[in-house]
């Protein structure tokens, strides 16, 4: 296959289809989502059999168990995709909303109208359910989309794409609103992220190395989520019980998630009171501790705590490992965060309102919390209804990205014949 003309054809088709879906009514978009859900339900065997082949190929290519688990579909996972489609159909439609209407001295009435971005390219790894997830959010927000899943899921993704096409056709919408790239050639990704005449934004979903490569090579804007090196700072004016609960929850509720705490900062004045108790609780959960010198002196000698290195402050463990640093005060905490945080989510525990406000103002992360667990930084917890990702950028969308992050606003002017004087 000749990749460049193939991708340009996809791009042209997406651009044309984007105009149709941008102007589609909420009813048409919701009908399409439900029709896709029906098609998925009626074609379970087709999807599962394609997936079985993917899994078999993956096994013979030596994919590890975790990857096979992410790749594998079953009836429950298809049910979850169908349920997801129904949920997206019930979300409010952001498109067409008019806000900020004002009358200007010239007489014109000015406002803003929410509009789709146009064509969204999504690049992801082995989980085939992302195909439905991403397609449904883009469709609801009035965008056309070009999807590129992991090569090991190619047959599953094509089978799911067939269901999406059926659903779109049944609703009278063009198939090209959702297109799945049909080649596993890596050159296709290179084209997708550079054909800025056809693609308005790229959303990569996957590991840090994938996202770094895409950011480096893209000529199209990227909404990206790099890493989550999240901090909790326990101030010396914290409530001890609250501090214990938040610091314990932020680390141990789930380990492999981007909003889990990776570094705990503790004010010197409260460290003796809270660190030994926390260390015991972490140790009982099997969390490995890595601490600064003061931390290691305060932690009971029967609990292992190795010396933290510069690397530790810079690492997103995504694992039951925690680095701990005792700091003099909120100044040192904010300075440490400014230096090492990935600007995802940070929390302070304090009963001092002024310090809470200062932390909230001065810490430059996509979510900043006072007296709550970092684990709340999540599209569902924030009430977005769905999440295409969490952005660690400051441009366009910051933090959890829902339907609104897939839209823009244009200026609209209602005149009565006004001309510039």
Residues that bind its own copies (CB under 8 A): 19, 22-23, 96, 102, 104, 106, 108, 110, 113, 115, 117-118, 200-201, 215-216, 219, 221, 239, 241-242, 245-246, 248-250, 253, 338, 347, 356, 360-362, 364-373, 375-377, 381-383, 393-396, 398-400, 408-420
Measured from the CB atom, the residue of 125 and 200 that comes closer to its own copies is 200
Give how far Cα 390 sits from Cα of 54, 204, 398, Å: 29, 11, 7
Measured from the CB atom, the residue of 36 and 218 that comes closer to its own copies is 218
289 has which bridge partners? Answer: 305, 322
Distance CA 297, CA 308 (A): 13
Measured from the CB atom, the residue of 15 and 140 that comes closer to its own copies is 15
Measured from the CB atom, the residue of 44 and 398 that comes closer to its own copies is 398
At its nearest, how many Å lie between its own copies and the CB of residue 40? 30
Distance CA 188, CA 184 (A): 8
Residue 334, Ramachandran bin (φ over 0: left; ψ between -120 and 50: alpha; else beta)? alpha
At its nearest, how many Å lie between its own copies and the CB of residue 243? 9
At its nearest, how many Å lie between its own copies and the CB of residue 284? 17
Distance CA 8, CA 340 (A): 41
* Pairing of β 144-148 and β 178-180: parallel
At its nearest, how many Å lie between its own copies and the CB of residue 59? 35
Measured from the CB atom, the residue of 71 and 270 that comes closer to its own copies is 270
Measured from the CB atom, the residue of 54 and 313 that comes closer to its own copies is 313
Kindly report the backbone phi and psi dihedral angles of residue 204, in degrees, each rounded to the nearest multiple of 5, phi listed first. -85, 135
Measured from the CB atom, the residue of 185 and 362 that comes closer to its own copies is 362
At its nearest, how many Å lie between its own copies and the CB of residue 224? 11
At its nearest, how many Å lie between its own copies and the CB of residue 334? 9
At its nearest, how many Å lie between its own copies and the CB of residue 139? 17
Distance CA 125, CA 104 (A): 49
Give how far Cα 140 sits from Cα of 136, 220, 251, 279, 355, Å: 6, 22, 35, 46, 41
Give the list of residues 6+ apart from residue 106 with CB closer than 8 angstroms, or none: 418, 420
- Tokens at 214, concatenated: 């895409």
Measured from the CB atom, the residue of 41 and 215 that comes closer to its own copies is 215
Four-residue CA torsion sign, 36, 38, 39, 45: positive
Distance CA 342, CA 350 (A): 22
At its nearest, how many Å lie between its own copies and the CB of residue 65? 27
H/E stretch holding 348:
strand 345-349
């Amino acid at each position: 296959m000749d990749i460049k003309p193939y991708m340009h054809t996809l791009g042209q088709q997406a651009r044309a289809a984007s105009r149709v879906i941008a102007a589609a009514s909420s009813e048409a978009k919701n009908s399409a989502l439900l029709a896709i859900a029906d098609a998925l339900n009626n074609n379970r065997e087709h999807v599962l059999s394609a997936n079985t082949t993917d899994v078999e190929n993956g096994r013979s290519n030596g994919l590890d168990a975790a990857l096979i688990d992410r790749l594998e579909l079953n009836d429950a996972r298809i049910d979850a995709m169908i349920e997801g489609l129904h949920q997206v159909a019930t979300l409010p439609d952001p498109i067409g909303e008019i806000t900020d209407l004002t009358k200007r001295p010239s007489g014109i009435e000015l406002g803003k109208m929410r509009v789709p971005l146009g064509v969204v390219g999504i690049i992801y790894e082995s989980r085939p359910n992302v195909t439905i997830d991403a397609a449904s959010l883009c469709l609801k927000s009035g965008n056309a989309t070009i999807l590129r899943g992991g090569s090991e899921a190619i047959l599953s993704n094509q089978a799911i794409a067939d269901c999406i096409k059926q659903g779109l056709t049944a609703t009278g919408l063009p198939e090209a609103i959702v297109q799945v790239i049909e080649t596993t050639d890596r050159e296709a990704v290179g084209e997708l992220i550079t054909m800025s005449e056809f693609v308005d934004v790229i959303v990569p979903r996957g590991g840090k190395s994938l996202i770094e490569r895409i950011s480096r090579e893209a000529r199209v804007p990227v909404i990206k989520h790099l890493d989550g090196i999240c901090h909790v700072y326990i101030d010396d004016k914290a409530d001890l019980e609250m501090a214990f609960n938040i610091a314990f929850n932020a680390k141990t509720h789930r380990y492999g998630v981007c909003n889990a705490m990776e570094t705990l900062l503790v004010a010197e004045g409260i460290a003796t009171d809270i660190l030994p108790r926390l260390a015991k609780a972490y140790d009982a959960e099997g969390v490995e501790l890595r601490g600064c010198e003061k931390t290691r002196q305060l932690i009971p000698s029967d609990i292992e705590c190795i010396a933290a290195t510069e690397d530790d402050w810079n690492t997103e463990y995504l694992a039951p490992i925690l680095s701990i640093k005792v700091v003099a005060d909120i100044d040192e905490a904010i300075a440490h965060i400014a230096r090492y945080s990935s600007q995802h989510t940070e929390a302070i525990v304090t009963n001092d309102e002024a310090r809470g406000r200062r932390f909230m103002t001065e810490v430059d992360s996509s979510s900043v919390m006072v007296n709550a667990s970092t684990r709340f930084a999540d599209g569902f917890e924030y009430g977005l209804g769905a999440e295409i990702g969490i952005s660690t950028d400051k441009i366009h969308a910051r933090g959890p990205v829902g339907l609104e992050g897939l839209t823009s606003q244009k200026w609209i002017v209602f005149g009565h014949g006004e001309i510039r004087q």
